[in-house]
Amino acid sequence: MNIKLSDTEKAFLKKYAEVCDEERKFDGTADPVVLVQDIERIPTELGYEDGIEFRDAKCSESYDSLDELLEEYKAEYSLSDDEVEEMEESIQYLGEFKSLEPHNVEILKIGYKKRWKTVAYFLTRHEAERYIKYQRHNLTSPRVYTAYAGYDNRGEIPCVLELLKRMGETLLTEAE
């Protein structure tokens, strides 16, 4: 079989063969699929949460602390310290504060559960880490997680990974 490979494909196969064995030592996983995951916040009832956020009901921006949100309101609406304190007390006791006149402000107190959400899939940790660098602006708290193709998986993924590695090793040998 004679297959023409582009320079990009050759570079990928060589890089895969170069890092594959070393990465297996690090992650200890046979037939890996490397995932980039990010924290996702799922709203939940208060009392069943991993954390609490505060949100302006008119916009989707949320804040991890009430002080941070109130400081922004203080500047935006030229609120006095007494008005800010009144808002803070109402939120602490009621769970939400509605309509501080004349500003028509509504702050919601929301509980959330944290969950790791997979946002991208790779064959190498090297590429997953590169992805995090160039997508940093779209990620909150990313991690690289190595999953495996499945216990005693005799299916397609282990076969394809071995094929890619052999092709890369062949290209590396030819380059010498």
23-41 residue pLDDT tens: 888 888 888 899 999 999 8
SS3 content of the chain, % helix, strand, coil (to 5): 45, 25, 25
Tell me the residue length of the chain.
Answer: 176
Nearest residue to 111 (alpha-carbon basis) of 60, 56, 51: 51
What per-residue confidence (pLDDT) applies to 135? 97
**Chain segment 119-131, per-residue pLDDT in tens:** 999 999 999 999 9
Rounded to a whole number, what is the largest CA-CA distance in the chain?
Answer: 79
What per-residue confidence (pLDDT) applies to 145? 95
Q: What does pLDDT average to over the chain?
A: 86
Q: Are 124 and 21 in contact (CB under 8 A)?
A: no
CA distance 176 to 166: 16
pLDDT of 3 over the 80 cut: yes
Nearest residue to 50 (alpha-carbon basis) of 146, 143, 141: 141
